[in-house]
């Protein structure tokens, strides 16, 4: 099916006869593949007698040659349950880090706290970078925040100048989510472990009825389609730069930069931890990346993967 899709990706009409000749199959077999494309990938294909078949909109696919400048080896998949899940399977199979898993779509994309990450075909970026960490607990301090800065830098290169960070793992434009980060750890952090850095970026998505929170995309913000291959290369470059700096200097050296990009700095918030909530004012983050809150005149520090932050009173 992917070969057929590459023939159609230009958004022009192609006759069934020409498609069949290019694929070495009959016109009826072309028709069956087109039906599968529509059903499996939720693509809209125009069918006009005498003209042939046309995608409702041109499609840009992930291309290995366009990703050649990525600083990390890249593995491209047409469809996965999630890129993080595939990365974990590769680790279990003995794959050598670092490497990146990419997918055109995900059937079970995941965000923090078990939330579903909507993953339409060939519209967004679903990216998982695997790193090996050797006995360096310091390398894990503030890691998700460092990744957030790399994502933010990449978005700004492609026109989303109003984007900013929300502790701990979100990138927003205003109050709308444009990207999210999910880190998963395998092994012993005190000895040898692997970190899977999962990144989801809304790139060219225009419509998504089943997203349960406010969202936006680079295309909506920039007003034009974005080349995902170029964005992936920029993301890898920015990740590499921030990770090298983080390993050499620790999060403390980057703390002020992160705080200067935190959209909720000084805002009144509610911190949610399971059934418990804490109201306070965001004071920033500490040198390990934990959240600092001013709670009733006292500064308190919070960290952990199951914490969630919400604005109070639209402050």
Q: Please name the residue that has the structure tokens 């993080």.
A: 84
Is 9 a known active-site residue? no
Residue of 166, 177, 219, 237 marked active site: 177
Is 116 a known active-site residue? no
Interstrand relation of 125-134 and 163-166 (parallel, antiparallel or unpaired): unpaired
Is 177 a known active-site residue? yes
- The 10 Å Cβ neighbour count of residue 184 is 18
Measuring CA to CA, which residue among 281, 243, 244 is closest to residue 265? Answer: 281
Residue 177 counted as an annotated binding residue? yes
Residue 106 counted as an annotated binding residue? yes
HSE-up of 268 (CA within 13 Å, CB side)? 7
**In the beta sheet, which residues pair with residue 281?**
268, 294
Distances, alpha carbon 133 to alpha carbons 56, 145, 224, 294, in Å: 45, 17, 39, 34
Residue of 6, 47, 132, 310 marked active site: 310
At residue 284, what are phi and psi to the nearest 5 degrees?
135, -150
Q: Please name the residue that has the structure tokens 């092994």.
A: 187
Distance CA 200, CA 80 (A): 14
The token pair at 140 is 């894990």
Those residues with Cβ within 8 angstroms of residue 109's Cβ, 6 or more apart along the chain or in another chain: 82, 116, 117, 118, 119, 126, 200
Residue 83 counted as an annotated binding residue? yes
Annotated binding site for biotin: 82-84, 106, 110-112, 177
Annotated binding site: 82-84, 106, 110-112, 177
Report, as residue numbers or ranges, the catalytic residues.
112, 177, 310
């Amino acid at each position: 099916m992917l070969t057929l899709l590459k023939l159609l990706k230009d958004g022009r009409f192609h006759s069934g006869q020409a498609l069949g000749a290019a694929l070495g199959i009959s016109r009826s077999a072309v028709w069956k593949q087109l039906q599968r494309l529509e059903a499996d990938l939720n693509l809209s294909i125009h069918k006009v007698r005498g003209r042939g078949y046309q995608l409702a909109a041109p499609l840009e696919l992930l291309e290995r040659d366009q990703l050649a400048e990525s600083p990390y080896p890249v593995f491209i998949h047409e469809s996965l349950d999630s890129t993080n899940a595939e990365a974990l399977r590769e680790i279990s199979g003995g794959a050598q880090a670092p490497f990146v898993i990419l997918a055109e779509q995900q059937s079970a994309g995941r965000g923090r706290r078990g939330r579903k990450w909507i993953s339409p075909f060939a519209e967004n970026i679903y990216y998982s970078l695997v790193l090996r960490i050797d006995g360096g607990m310091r390398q894990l301090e503030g890691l998700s925040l460092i990744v957030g800065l790399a994502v933010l830098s990449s978005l700004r290169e492609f026109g989303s100048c109003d984007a900013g960070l929300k502790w701990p793992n979100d990138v927003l434009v205003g109050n709308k989510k444009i990207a999210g980060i999910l880190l998963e750890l395998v092994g012993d952090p005190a000895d040898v472990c692997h970190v899977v850095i999962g990144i989801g970026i809304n790139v060219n998505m225009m419509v998504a009825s089943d997203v349960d929170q406010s969202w936006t995309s680079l295309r909506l913000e920039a007003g034009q389609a974005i080349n995902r291959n170029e964005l992936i290369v920029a993301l890898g470059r920015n990740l590499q730069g921030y990770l090298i700096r983080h390993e050499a200097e620790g999060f403390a050296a980057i703390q002020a930069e992160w705080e200067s990009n935190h959209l909720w700095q000084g805002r009144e918030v509610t911190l949610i931890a399971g059934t418990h909530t804490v109201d306070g004012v965001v004071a920033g983050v500490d040198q390990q990346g934990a959240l600092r809150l001013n709670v009733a005149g006292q500064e308190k520090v919070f960290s952990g993967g199951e914490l969630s932050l919400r604005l109070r009173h639209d402050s």
